[in-house]
Amino acid sequence: MSMKRTAYDLTKTAMMLALALILSIVEAWLLPRGILPIPGFKLGLANVAILVTLYSVGRKEALAVAVLRSVVVLAFGGNVIGFLFSLVGGVSAWAVMSLLSDFEHISVYGVSIAGASAHAIGQILVAILVTKTVYVIGYLPYLVLTSAFAGAVIAFLTIPVVKALDHIGNEMIQ
C-alpha cells in the first residue's frame, strides 16, 4: 500500500506539472499581448497546479512543481526574463501558500489569494531588478488586485480537483 501511495503521489505531481505547463501556455494565449503593462507578467493560473499539489501531495512536491514548471518552459524555448518571472513568482507564491496553509481559519481561498499576491510581488521585484528602475512599482497595486481576484477563482477551481484526486486514490487502494 505504501508503494502504491508513493507511486500515486508521484503520478499526481507529474500530472500537476503537466497541468502547470499547459496553464502557462493557456494564460499567455488567453491574455492578449500588451493588456498587462509589464511584458512577461503572469496572473498565475498555473498556481492551480501548485495549490493542488500542496493540498494533496505535499510541500516539497509543490515546490518541485513551481520550480520545474519554469525550467521546462525555459527549455521549451522561453526567454530568460520570462523564466526569472515565473521562477521568482512561483517560488514566492509557494512560500506564502505553504506557510499560510498551516494557519487555522485560513481556507484555500485565503491561501490562494495570498499566494497570487505574492506571485505578483515576486514578479515586480524581478522587473525592478531587470530594468534597474524602481518606477515599475507604480503598477504593483493594480497587478496585485487583479492577481488576488484571479487567486480567488483559482481556489474555486482547486477544490474539486483535490476532491477528485482523493476519490481516485481511495478507489485505487481499495
Partner 1 sequence: MSLRPQTKKQDKNIPTEKAPASFLWKRVRAFAVFCLIFSLPFGFLTGCSYEKKTTRSFFALDTYITITLEGKDADEAMNVAANYIMELERKLSRQDPESEISSLNLSSEGSPVTLSKETYDLLSLAVSYSEKTSGRFDLTIAPVMDLWGFGTEGAHVPEKSEIEKILPNVGYTKVHLLSDNKAYLEEGAKVDLGGAAKGYIGDLLMEKLSSYSLSKVILDLGGNVCCRSRSSDLTIGIVSPLSSDALCCTYSLSSGSSCSVITSGAYERYIEEDGVRYGHIMDTSTGYPADTDLLSATVIGPDGTKGDIYSTTLFSLGSEKAMELASSECLDCILCMENGTLWVSQTLEGKVDAQEGWTIQYFG
Partner 2 sequence: MHKKDGQFNTSAKALPKRRFRFCSGDVFVTLSVLLFCAILLGGTWIYGRKNKNKPPYVRITQDGKVLLEKDLRDFPEPVEYQIDSDHGHMVIFISSEKVYVKESDCPDKICMHQGDLTSPGDGAVCLPNRVVIEIVSGDDDDTSGKVDVIAK
Count CA atoms closer than 13 A to 6's CA, side-chain side. Answer: 2
Place of cell 521568482: 88
22 vs 129 by CB, closer to partner 2 = 129
Question: Which residues of this chain interact with partner 2, rule CB under 8 A?
Answer: 2, 5, 33-34, 37-40, 54-58, 79, 81, 98, 100-111, 113-114, 117, 127, 130-133, 135-138, 140-141, 144-145, 148, 159, 162-163, 165-167, 169-170, 173-174
49 vs 88 by CB, closer to partner 1 = 88
First-to-last alpha carbon distance for the chain, in angstroms, is: 10
Q: Which set of grid coordinates corresponds to residue 39?
A: 511584458
CB of 72 to partner 2, least distance (A): 20
87 vs 113 by CB, closer to partner 2 = 113
Q: Could you say which of partner 2, partner 1, none residue 145 binds, taking C-beta under 5 to 8 angstroms by partner kind?
A: partner 2
7 vs 163 by CB, closer to partner 2 = 163
CB of 67 to partner 2, least distance (A): 19
Alpha helix segments (H runs only) across the chain: 2-30, 47-56, 59-75, 80-100, 108-131, 140-173
CB of 38 to partner 2, least distance (A): 6
Cβ contacts of 90 within 8 Å, gap of 6 or more: 44, 46, 47, 50, 66, 67, 69, 70, 119, 122
Whole-angstrom distance, CA of residue 161 vs CA of residue 19: 11
